[in-house]
Amino acid sequence: MRRLAPGSAQLMGGGRASDRVARLISEAGTDEPSATRELGLAAVQVWQVLSRSRAVSGGGEVTILFTDLVGFSSWALHAGDDHVLRLLREVGDVSRAAVQRHGGTVVKFLGDGMMAVFADTAEAISAAHEACTAVSAITLDGYRPQLRTGMHAGRPKRVGRDYVGVDVNVAARVADAASGGEVLVSGPALSTVDETQYVVRRRRFRAKGAPRGLEVFSVVPRGESS
């Protein structure tokens, strides 16, 4: 009966904590059949199946932020590994701090870039500008990095701690179109904030993988624009 329960083929097949629990249950006691042991294994494998089904799901709307460094690859070719690692560490530290101060969550770091999500677009914009300013203050042997950022709002699929889907790809394309120190915001994301709080300039935008006609704007909080 335990073998008929969901997940029997995958049980004890990986390095998760629940797999280790299953192995301990299986190895406990004697080699004689045990109803208690089989019930314990059945409980673990059903829990694994339910956990996987919860991990891949939709969610509420979030604002997805991507960042990366302008011209980093060219600089890294000549800078040397020690300098590259030091720069990435410093950029990562100030970027993460900006995201966390504004209630966002860092999803992952991608080489010289970062992906983060926010429940509030206004906070995402503030975090992006703060990160751009903090990164521009870093110097390493005369090199001053510049961060570019872009964001889009949508309902991506959440897979564990990651997010996937068209909205994630669109956010990445928006970030790719930004210049150094610039914060680009898609129309759907900008529509969720009070635009009177920002200086907004429409940018020409067209990218493979992004919806045709998607509007993108360069956004600066009022009081910070020159």
Please report, for residues 36, 150, 186, 205, 214, the alpha-carbon distance to residue 202 in angstroms, rounded to integers and kept in the order given.
66, 14, 10, 9, 11
pLDDT at 129 over 90: yes
Q: How far apart are CA 65 and CA 152, in angstroms?
A: 7
- CA-based end-to-end distance of the chain: 71
Largest CA distance in the chain: 79
Mean pLDDT of all residues in 83-88:
94
CATH of region 62-221: 3.30.70.1230
Tell me the mean pLDDT in the region 85-101: 96
Distance between CA atoms of residues 224 and 226, nearest Å: 7
Return the SS3 of 15: coil
**207 pLDDT higher than 90:** no
CA distance 185 to 187: 7
Tens of pLDDT, residues 153-179: 999 999 999 999 999 999 999 999 999
215 HSE (CA, 13 A, CB side):
10
In this structure, of 37-46, 91-100, 106-115, the range with the lowest mean pLDDT score is: 37-46
> Could you tell me which residues come within 8 angstroms of residue 143 by beta carbon, excluding any fewer than 6 positions away?
75, 79, 87
The pLDDT confidence band at residue 211, using thresholds 50, 70 and 90, is: confident
DSSP three-state, residue 182: coil
State the alpha helices, DSSP H only, in 28-165. Answer: 35-55, 72-79, 81-101, 121-136
Confidence (pTM)? 0.73
Least reliable range by pLDDT among 12-16, 38-42, 128-132: 12-16
Give the integer Cα–Cα distance in Å for 104 and 102: 6
In which band, very low, low, confident or very high, does the pLDDT at 213 lie, cut at 50, 70 and 90? confident
pLDDT number for residue 42: 59
- Indicate the SS3 state at residue 126: helix
Q: Domain map of the chain by residue range?
A: 2-56, 62-221
Residue 27: the pLDDT is 55
Whole-number Å distance between alpha carbons of 157 and 149: 22
Which among 20, 19, 1 has a CA at the least distance from the CA of 11? 19
Task: Give the other-Cβ count within 10 Å of 209's Cβ.
Answer: 10
Average pLDDT of the residues of the chain: 82
Task: Tell me the average pLDDT across 36-51.
Answer: 53
